[in-house]
Amino acid sequence: MSINARYREIAVKIKCIDFEGSGCMFQPFTNEFSYVITARHCLEGTNENPQSFEKKDIEVFLHNLGTKITVLDYYFHSKYDLAVIKVKYIEGIPGTLITVPKDNVEVGLYGFPHLLNGEDTAELGHLLECKTYFNYPEQNLLEFRAIPDVSNLMNSVNKTLSGFSGSGIFLKSDNNLFLMGIFTQLKEEDGAYGALLGYDISSINDILLENQLPLLIPEELLNFESYIETAFESNEGYIQSILKRNSRPILDLAPNDIVKFHNEKLYVPYNSFVEEELLNPKLWEGWASLLTYYYMETSNLPNKSNFKLIRNRVEYSHNIKMYFTREKRLSTCIMDLFVNNYDDIELNDLIIINTKNSNPGTKSYNKDKTKRIVRKIDRADKERLVEKGIDIDDPEKLTDVEFIHIDLFQDIFSKYDEITSLPELEEKLKDCIKEVFNNVP
């Protein structure tokens, strides 16, 4: 789905007696209802023109305006101009992540301005390109401006933007939309300076917590079930079935547990914009695979609040870590971690790499191969490390670390795909996992 199509699929028009505005849909982790997020004044009016209304007065229309959504309830923020309308479950709402406000980034609003209420244009809606300028965390506000200025000789900013109130403020990245806030008002009531204001989307969770409703966390991050269905589909014969059966215990965990614990360290290079890849199925298929292999070999799963994979060997205990990357080669990831995140590398770490768009030719680096790669780090990067007191040419400074690509397991599993005895096959797979963990090729 294109980015513009996503805007339209999420946007709604709202009518309540004498007031009209816009809103955006969000699907929480339930199939009992969906959310429409909007500005409170789209329902109860403004301070100058307040109105009384009942639930039956609220009308919510999908982007084509031909489909009216059944309203179940509504909730207001106790302090801010924000509202959540609970509506009948709508299947197929595009998965959306929320993100924290960011300064100096391009964002978009899709809404239904009153200027387009003509017979031929009422159903069209409009995408407004904007750029953020300031974030006011103490007031939960973000300031942004339209690009270019929306005022002209015929219409003021106020008139041009009338009807946009309640629109979602979305950050665009990698053909995904990230919900940052809700547009509620002009900074100055007549539109001076062209400055617009919206509330940080995290304030919506205040409403949901108060009313004991599911928070703004998309379904994709709350359950591993759909990822288990696809994680093992490249395995032949009964291998796929045995892996899926052994993966059932990981359903007690959720992708969001991993996000909360690892944050920007989900990725190589580290990425403070953690939301950027969180709806990428390949990220979570990799985690589903690793957690399954870990459980099959150790009979353990990590603690939700301390999401570490710790494994015991005869000689020592060590961590198993995992990173998702756009890099094509494992060697690039190895050098990046040593140069930029040396302090996070611990003795005897086994680091699993999951690549977004590649199938690396070399899928493993044992301790000796890793040391050879590290010696190839260029002089300028080595000098920066020396400034921090790290001489990676000193053998004592080279932590014994090993790397493998997540697909290495299925490559090795393939030699057992003709075994038809299920108990024998399961034991072979467990032995194979142990061998890879203990003796990285």
What is d(CA 11, CA 36) in angstroms, rounded to the nearest whole number? Answer: 9
Same domain, 376 and 363: yes
**Shared domain check, 293 and 240:** yes
State whether 231 and 191 are in the same domain.
no
Q: Quick one: 226 and 354 in the same domain?
A: yes
Distance CA 16, CA 21 (A): 9
pLDDT per residue as tens digits for the range 71-95: 999 999 999 999 999 999 999 898 8
Contact 241, 292 (CB under 8 A): no
Share of the chain above pLDDT 90, in %: 73
- Which domain-ending residue is among 174, 197, 217? 217
In this prediction, residue 157 carries a pLDDT of 60
154 pLDDT band (50/70/90 cuts)?
very low
For residue 167, the model assigns a pLDDT of: 96
212 and 229: one domain? no
Residues 182 and 154 in one domain: yes
* pLDDT band at residue 37 using 50, 70 and 90 as cut-offs: very high
Residue whose structure tokens are 């299925």: 410
Asked whether residue 153 carries a pLDDT value surpassing 50, the answer given is: no
Q: How many domains does the chain have?
A: 2
Q: Say whether both 210 and 264 belong to one domain.
A: no
Per residue in 363-418, pLDDT tens?
A: 999 999 999 999 899 999 988 888 888 888 777 766 789 999 999 999 999 999 99
d(CA 87, CA 207): 15
Among residues 5, 196, 186, the alpha carbon closest in space to that of 93 is found at: 5
Strand partners, 325: 268, 355
Which secondary structure element, helix H or strand E, spans residue 87, and what is its range?
strand 83-88
Contact of 136 with 142, CB cutoff 8 Å = yes
Question: What is the DSSP annotation of 56-84?
Answer: GGEEEEETTSS-EEPEEEEEE-SSSS-EE
- CA 11 – CA 109 distance, rounded (Å): 9
The pTM of the full predicted model, rounded to 2 decimals, is 0.81
- The answer to whether the beta carbons of residues 218 and 254 sit under 8 Å apart is no
Amino acid 100: pLDDT: 87
- In tens, the pLDDT along 325-377 reads 999 999 999 999 999 999 999 999 999 999 998 889 999 999 999 999 998 99
| Residues 287, 406: Cα–Cα separation, whole Å | 9
Kindly report the CATH number assigned to the domain that includes residue 169: 2.40.10.120
- Taking only Cα atoms into account, the Rg of the chain, rounded to an integer number of angstroms, comes to 26
Q: How confident is the model at residue 163 (pLDDT cuts 50, 70, 90)?
A: confident
- Picking from 217, 238, 263, the residue at the C-terminal end of a domain is 217
- From 167, 199, 217, the end of a domain falls on 217
Same domain, 20 and 32: yes
Strands (E), 229-368: 267-268, 309-312, 317-325, 350-355, 364-365
pLDDT band at 120 (very low <50, low <70, confident <90, very high): low
- The answer to whether the CB of 197 falls within 8 A of the CB of 142 is yes
Q: Which residue has the tokens 């072979």?
A: 428
Closest CA to 264 of 99, 388, 374: 99
Confidence label for 306 from pLDDT (cuts 50, 70 and 90): very high
Q: Do 412 and 357 belong to one domain?
A: yes
Other Cβ atoms closer than 10 A to 313: 11
Asked whether 114 and 99 are in contact (CB, 8 A), the reply is no
Torsion angles phi and psi, residue 178, rounded to 5 = -120, 120
SS3 253: coil
Q: Are residues 155 and 231 in the same domain?
A: no
Is there a contact between 321 and 307 (Cβ–Cβ < 8 Å)?
no
271 and 409 part of one domain = yes
Is the same domain home to 43 and 179? yes
Which structural domain, as residue segments, surrounds residue 430? Answer: 220-438
